[in-house]
Amino acid sequence: MDREYLLEITREFSEKSPTNYLSPPATSPEELRALEERFHENNFFKHNMPQGGDFDALNKDKTEEYIGMRFFLPPILAIGRADDPGFDELKRPEAIGPHFKKPIEWLPEAKRVISLFLPFTERVIESNTKEPDRPSWEWLFTRVDGQQHLLATAALVQQALTEAGYQAVVPQTDDRYLMRTAPQQEEIPIPVWSSNWSERHVAFVTGLGTFGKHTNFISKKGCCGRLISIITDWEADPDVKDYVGRFDYCADCGACYRACPGGALAPEGKNKPACSAFLRKISPQYAPRYGCGKCQSGLPCSTRCFPKRSIGK
Ligand code: SF4
Ligand code: SF4
């Protein structure tokens, strides 16, 4: 087991797995059953329809021009130490809060955390730059249907680790994972717009990149993509971070503030209720899919980062 092997299997999976391409609508009862089974794999439903819903609804809006489109490019990864003091910092209220579960709270024998960043394809990014205040269908399919591939990629790494004799936990597909996206979800015992395992914060600690002023994550391949992570007792060589500050990969250009159609971004941070209100306003026409992404696509940091310093150079 080494990092090159993980990159190799995830690269191959990215090319060949049907989960990385928009499937045609299911028509026969057998196809519908198979589709339903796939949508229940790896907690997909829990993440995409937290308030319940009919999987069949995701079967619609797949018109000819989108079928077969690819969601993600092969991932990049970073490996961090499970005992990095950065994870303690995330327990502080000004970071995530005490509800954040450190790696050892998911896996008592945890030694490393592997963060993966799956960049969106050029088609997905480009499509979302056409309209200033409406998401493209490519963006929405990638955000929602594509999450199946994100979760499946983590499951692939988890399986590779367990087959090599290591323990591995994927918090996002673990039953202990909590995410609260609306104030009315009072039964979820964490603050609203939060989770007990934040992939962005975790990726910052592992060495995969930093935050941008849009509050999204900026990897070496930019901010257009999705994150997922695996906690393991495999003692791989950890990455050496080439940044110190939270915004070291951000050019501080302000383009994301101007691009936000919901008026939710400003130098002092993100107004989460304003972002949420904008998403609620536009969502009915795309339901059950949702998304916006104007604070990711068409920006200087969409596909690259702007490192401020290099440690040790
Ligand atoms: S658009 Fe500019 S200010 Fe906003 S996150 Fe990207 S680099 Fe930073
Ligand atoms: S902050 Fe919200 S409303 Fe603004 S661009 Fe990003 S997703 Fe859209």
- At 234 the three-state DSSP class reads coil
Which atom belonging to ligand 1 lies closest to the Cα atom of 247? Answer: 8
The stretch 262-278 carries a mean pLDDT of 94
Which atom belonging to ligand 1 lies closest to the Cα atom of 299? Answer: 1
Span from the CA of 297 to the centroid of ligand 2 (angstroms): 11
Check residue 38 and give its pLDDT: 75
DSSP structure class, residue 126? H
Span from the CA of 269 to the centroid of ligand 2 (angstroms): 12
Q: Is the pLDDT of residue 82 over 70?
A: yes
User: Cα(211)–Cα(105) distance, rounded to whole angstroms?
Assistant: 25
Check residue 208 and give its pLDDT: 98
Check residue 33 and give its pLDDT: 82
Q: Are strands 168-169 and 179-180 parallel, antiparallel or unpaired?
A: unpaired
Task: Tell me the CA distances in angstroms from 196 to 103, 106, 231, one per residue in order.
Answer: 11, 10, 14
What's the full length of the chain, in residues?
313
The stretch 70-91 carries a mean pLDDT of 98
Check residue 93 and give its pLDDT: 93
Q: Is the pLDDT of residue 311 over 50?
A: no
pLDDT band of 50, cuts 50, 70, 90: low
Q: Is the pLDDT of residue 51 over 60?
A: no
pLDDT band of 35, cuts 50, 70, 90: confident
Q: Is the pLDDT of residue 105 over 70?
A: yes
- Residue closest by Cα to atom 4 of ligand 1: 256
CB of 282 within 8 A of CB of 292?
Answer: yes
Domain boundaries, the chain: 3-285
Check residue 53 and give its pLDDT: 62
CB of 311 within 8 A of CB of 248?
Answer: no
Q: Is the pLDDT of residue 6 over 90?
A: yes
Check residue 313 and give its pLDDT: 38
**Tokens 């603050």 -> residue:** 191
Instruction: Please tell me the number of the ligand nearest to residue 291's CA.
Output: 2
Q: Is the pLDDT of residue 18 over 80?
A: yes
Q: Is the pLDDT of residue 123 over 80?
A: yes
pLDDT band of 41, cuts 50, 70, 90: confident
Q: Is the pLDDT of residue 36 over 90?
A: no
Which atom belonging to ligand 2 lies closest to the Cα atom of 262? Answer: 3
Task: Establish whether residue 252 lines the binding site of ligand 1, counting it when its CB lies within 6 angstroms of any ligand atom.
Answer: yes
pTM of the model: 0.94
Instruction: Please tell me the number of the ligand nearest to residue 265's CA.
Output: 2
Which of 36-45, 196-205, 241-250 has the lowest average pLDDT? 36-45
Q: Which helix (H) or strand (E) holds 35?
A: helix 29-40
Whole-number mean pLDDT of the chain? Answer: 92
User: Cα(5)–Cα(34) distance, rounded to whole angstroms?
Assistant: 30
- Residue closest by Cα to atom 4 of ligand 2: 260
Check residue 49 and give its pLDDT: 64
Task: Establish whether residue 305 lines the binding site of ligand 1, counting it when its CB lies within 6 angstroms of any ligand atom.
Answer: no
Which of 39 and 198 is assigned the larger pLDDT?
Answer: 198
Span from the CA of 233 to the centroid of ligand 1 (angstroms): 36
Residues with CB under 6 A from ligand 2: 260-262, 264-265, 270, 275, 278, 292, 294-295
Which atom belonging to ligand 2 lies closest to the Cα atom of 270? Answer: 1
User: Cα(54)–Cα(72) distance, rounded to whole angstroms?
Assistant: 25
User: Cα(187)–Cα(181) distance, rounded to whole angstroms?
Assistant: 12
Span from the CA of 247 to the centroid of ligand 1 (angstroms): 9
Check residue 56 and give its pLDDT: 75
Which atom belonging to ligand 2 lies closest to the Cα atom of 293? Answer: 7
User: Cα(207)–Cα(93) distance, rounded to whole angstroms?
Assistant: 22
Q: Is the pLDDT of residue 229 over 60?
A: yes
CB of 175 within 8 A of CB of 42?
Answer: no
Q: Is the pLDDT of residue 312 over 50?
A: no
Span from the CA of 81 to the centroid of ligand 2 (angstroms): 32
Burial class (CB in 10 A: 0-12, 13-18, 19+), 131: exposed
CB of 294 within 8 A of CB of 212?
Answer: no
Q: Is the pLDDT of residue 309 over 70?
A: no
Burial class (CB in 10 A: 0-12, 13-18, 19+), 143: buried
Task: Tell me the CA distances in angstroms from 60 to 22, 25, 41, 236, one per residue in order.
Answer: 12, 7, 20, 43
Query: Cα torsion for 198, 201, 203, 207, to the nearest 10°?
Result: -160
